[in-house]
Chain A
Amino acid sequence: MEGKNDNFSGGRKYTNGEITVFWKPGACVHASYCYRELIEVFDPGRRPWVDMSGSTTERIIEVVNMCPTEALSWKWNDEEKNKNISFDQTNHIVFRRPELLESKETDEGVKPISVKVMPDGPIVIKGDFTFSFDGTTKNVKEGILSICRCRASDHMPFCDGVHRKIGYEDK
C-alpha cells in the first residue's frame, strides 16, 4: 500500500487554490506561533491539522512567515507571482525551501494535463496520463475522463449526467 498522495519527501502540502502551504514536520521546533496566532487554520489537535478554509490568504501568509524554521513555508500557485518575492516574505519557499522551486522547473518536458472542476458537476481531465482505480492501472493517450462528484452516477466513478437531475450542488 502506498501512503497518501499528499505526502512529499516526508512532508505535506495544503492549498486554498491561491497559495500552497508546505509542512515539513521534522523541522518544527514547536515555537507555536502558528496555532497561537491562527488556530482556525493551524490546529494541532485536529486532523488534518491545517485547514486552509479557516482564514484569508493574506492572514495565512502572515502567520506562516512567523514560523522560525522551514517547518511551514508557502508559495503562490500562480508561478508568475513567485518570481518577485520581497524579503519580508520570510517563509516563501524561495527563502526557506528553494529545492521545491527547482523540482518544479525540471518538469518542463512533460505535457501538462487539464483538470477542470465543472460547476455542480464532474471533474473533467484531459491529456496523457496514467489512471488507476479499483486495482487496475491504464496508460491513456489524449484521453478524457469525467469523474462523478455527486455520487449518484450509475457508472461510478464516471459521470453519467445524473447530477443535473438530482440538483447536485457542491459547497
Chain B
Amino acid sequence: MKGMETDNGKDKNPVIEIVEGGPINIKGRIVFKDLKRDITTDLDEVSLCLCGRSKNMPFCDDSHLSHFESIE
C-alpha cells in the first residue's frame, strides 16, 4: 500500500510556520513539552494556539477561524 505517504520531514529539517491570525504549525521530529500541564511527548506535527481562543490549550483547535478578521 504505497503511494499516499507524505514525505514531509523525512530528510528535511523541521518546518515552522506562523499563520497570520492563526496558529504556529510545526512539522518534523519534535520533542514537545508543556511545562504548565506537565505534557512531554514526541510528535511529528503540532499546531499551537497563538490567538488565545483555543479551548484545548496549548493546541490550536481552529477557534481563530470563527472570526474573519486577523488578530493584531
Which positions in A face B, CB cutoff 8 Å?
4-6, 8-10, 13, 15-18, 20, 47-48, 51-53, 77-79, 99, 102-104, 106-107, 109-120, 123, 125, 127-134, 139, 145, 147-149, 151, 157, 170-171
Contacts and interface: CB of A to CB of B under 8 A. Distances in A.
Given A17-B39, A149-B50, A157-B18, A111 B29 contact: yes
A113 B10 contact: no
Interface in B32-47: 32-37, 39, 41-47
Interface string B37-66: 101011111111111100111111110010
A106 B10 contact: yes
A9 B59 CA distance: 21
A101 to B, nearest CB: 11
B30 A119 contact: no
